[in-house]
Amino acid sequence: MLTAVDHVQLAAPPDSEDRLRVYYTDVLGMTEIPKPPVLAARGGCWFAAGPVQLHLGVEDDFRPARKAHPGLRVTGIEEYAQRLEERGAKVVWDENLPGHRRFYSEDPVGNRLEFLEPYEAAPAR
């Protein structure tokens, strides 16, 4: 039986770790977590925020996916979007998911990220 998502793996081009570290730590506010030595030798980097983990793995012929993306739940989405914009990240709002405020952004290598926050339905009249 599945109980949780342990992590999401995204791809990245070789030698992009420094740019990824800036984005995932300084822009998104995540913490870099150490990779096991046998995996660290492959390059890439891992990040966490509470129970959420994103792993970035090096892929020699990297091309960012056009639709595939992690959906990351946030609190205070307006403030979080402002944080990203203040740090130079593009924020694209999308109102097409009922019951949620959400926006998309991209990391420095073009990986698409969705940020969403559910809102309570308006009380029935």
* Count of Cβ atoms closer than 10 Å to residue 11 Cβ: 21
- Could you report the per-residue pLDDT of 37-62, keeping only the tens digit for each? 999 999 999 999 999 999 999 999 99
- pLDDT category of residue 86 using cuts at 50, 70 and 90: very high
Query: What is the value of pTM for the model shown?
Result: 0.90
Residues in the chain: 125
CATH assignment, 8-58+69-118: 3.10.180.10
Cβ atoms 10, 24 nearer than 8 A: no
Q: Is the pLDDT of residue 124 over 60?
A: no
- pLDDT category of residue 121 using cuts at 50, 70 and 90: low
Residue ranges per structural domain of the chain: 8-58+69-118
Distance CA 90, CA 107 (A): 9
